């Protein structure tokens, strides 16, 4: 079967496997590749995402698909009295993150925990976090609705859900964006990380992810309230927020 974008549809097991391989393969080069592919702009998106989180200074926060810690470290720099749990299915990504945290003088590692876990079946109790973040991670999960349901479960009543993810770009820019994504990114993947296919997969996963409105509806369907979104860079990404 193929999607309306013409890509081959992968089955669920195959997808989970591929995601595992992709991130195990790229863990050491992940930060470098992000800088190269987005020309550094992912840093600005992430800065803005964390700056805009309306949190108490001592919030208990969970960053799912937290990878090498980009969101968690920013959150701790902004809220030094917070406690942040970084959860990711891939141990390699967390290992790189832990190493970075120890090198970073601005971060108090006693306020950080690293936990291996699946966003679809989180190893945490109900009603335990003030905020749940997920940045460039949810589109890699097999059952996006299940991930949001789990976010709802682990959030305290009134807790904040915030998701930063690639989204649907403004139609006027679409052709140029597609050309860049499909022609340039996999080649960069090959040159910098010797991995053409992983980066081809990453581009395809962006196209498969629901657009801003459909994703808002999915979030509402899990029981989260006050769902809003904001486009970044003409919709290349969007921040979706909601409350339990």
Q: How many residues are listed for the chain in this entry?
A: 244
Instruction: Compute the least distance from the CB of residue 141 to ligand SAM, in Å.
Output: 4
Element (H, E) at 85: strand 83-88
Which residue number, 10 or 175, has a Cβ lying nearer to ligand SAM? 10
Residue from 158, 131, 153, 165 nearest 58 by CA: 131
Q: Is 72 assigned a ligand-binding role in the annotation?
A: no
Q: Are the CB atoms for 181 and 199 separated by under 8 Å?
A: no
Q: Which residues contact 58 (CB under 8 A, 6 or more apart)?
A: 79, 81, 82, 83
Q: Are the CB atoms for 62 and 129 separated by under 8 Å?
A: yes
Give me the residues paired with residue 83 across strands.
60
* Interface with ligand SAM, residue 119, by CB under 6 A: yes
What are the tokens at 161? 């859900």
Q: Give the total of residues touching ligand SAM (CB under 6 A).
A: 20
Site for ligand SAM in 68-97 (CB under 6 A): 70-71, 88-90, 93
Give me the residues paired with residue 61 across strands.
84, 131
Q: Which residues contact 176 (CB under 8 A, 6 or more apart)?
A: none
Q: Is 119 assigned a ligand-binding role in the annotation?
A: yes
For residues 23 and 67, what is the distance between their CA atoms, to the nearest angstrom? 9
Among 76, 131, 141, 169, binds ligand SAM (CB under 6 A): 141
Which residue number, 37 or 225, has a Cβ lying nearer to ligand SAM? 37
Which residue number, 90 or 241, has a Cβ lying nearer to ligand SAM? 90
Which residue number, 140 or 167, has a Cβ lying nearer to ligand SAM? 140
Instruction: Compute the least distance from the CB of residue 174 to ligand SAM, in Å.
Output: 22
Q: Is 223 assigned a ligand-binding role in the annotation?
A: no
* Interface with ligand SAM, residue 136, by CB under 6 A: yes
Which residue number, 52 or 158, has a Cβ lying nearer to ligand SAM? 52
Q: Residue 134: what are its φ and ψ, rounded to 5°?
A: -150, 120
* Interface with ligand SAM, residue 67, by CB under 6 A: yes
List residues near ligand SAM by CB under 6 A.
19, 23, 64-67, 70-71, 88-90, 93, 118-120, 135-137, 140-141
Residues making up the annotated binding site are: 68, 88, 118-119, 135
């Amino acid at each position: 079967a193929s999607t309306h974008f013409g890509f081959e549809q992968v089955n669920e097991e195959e997808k989970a496997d591929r995601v595992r391989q992709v991130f195990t393969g790229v863990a050491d080069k992940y930060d470098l590749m992000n800088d190269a592919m987005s020309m550094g702009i992912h840093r600005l998106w992430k800065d803005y995402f964390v700056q805009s989180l309306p949190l108490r200074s001592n919030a208990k926060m969970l960053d799912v698909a937290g990878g090498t810690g980009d969101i968690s470290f920013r959150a701790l720099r902004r809220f030094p009295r917070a406690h942040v749990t970084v959860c990711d299915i891939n141990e390699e990504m967390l290992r790189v993150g832990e190493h970075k945290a120890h090198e970073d003088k601005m971060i108090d590692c006693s306020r950080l925990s690293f936990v291996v876990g699946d966003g679809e079946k989180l190893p945490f109790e109900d009603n335990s976090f003030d905020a749940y973040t997920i940045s460039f991670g949810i589109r890699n999960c097999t059952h996006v609705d299940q991930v949001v349901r789990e976010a709802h479960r682990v959030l305290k009543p009134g807790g904040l859900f915030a998701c930063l993810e690639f989204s649907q770009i403004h139609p006027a820019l679409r052709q140029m964006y597609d050309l860049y994504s499909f022609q340039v990114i996999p080649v960069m993947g090959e040159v910098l990380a010797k991995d053409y296919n992983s980066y081809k997969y990453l581009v395809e996963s962006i196209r498969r992810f629901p657009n801003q409105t459909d994703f808002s509806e999915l979030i509402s369907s899990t029981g989260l309230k006050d769902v809003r979104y904001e486009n970044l860079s003409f919709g290349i990404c969007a921040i979706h927020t909601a409350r339990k």
